[in-house]
Structure 1
Amino acid sequence: MKELLEFLVTSLVEHPEQVDISSTEEGDTVTFQVKVHADDVGRVIGRQGRVAKAIRNVVSAAAYRQKKRVFVDIQS
């Protein structure tokens, strides 16, 4: 799942070398913290959060197959 999230985010940003994804896992819940360059935050979130919601939906679908629950937190 982390590789999928990294692929999606790095494809969207102008500074892919500054994408940092960390994760914490508690039981069947995984939380990803996505840090991007300040100029790229708008690209990852999108208008009214549409891009962020789409990223969360794709990662959640992948997590569902592994019977996990996923949260994606986007930070600058």
Structure 2
Amino acid sequence: MPMPNIEEARALSDEELSDEILAVKKELFELRLQKATRQLEKPHQIKLAKHRLGQLMTVEGERSRTKANAVDS
């Protein structure tokens, strides 16, 4: 399974981005719960979820900094 592409995250609207971040956080919680109970069959999914969450939060931070800079100017 290939790593997610950040361009997909940049194509999302602000609301979709927030929803996706929440969904990935829930998925990561479920994966960690499965790992703790030894039910996780595909441990690489944790790495992919963390990577995706990082991408989404990076895009969210970029947008908030852009908006802050636009207000300051």
Q: What TM-score does the superposition give when structure 2 sets the normalisation length?
A: 0.35
More strand by share: 1
More helix by share: 2
The structure with the larger Rg is: 2
Relative contact order: is structure 1 or structure 2 higher (C-alpha 8 Å, sep ≥ 6)?
A: 2
Q: What TM-score does the superposition give when structure 1 sets the normalisation length?
A: 0.34
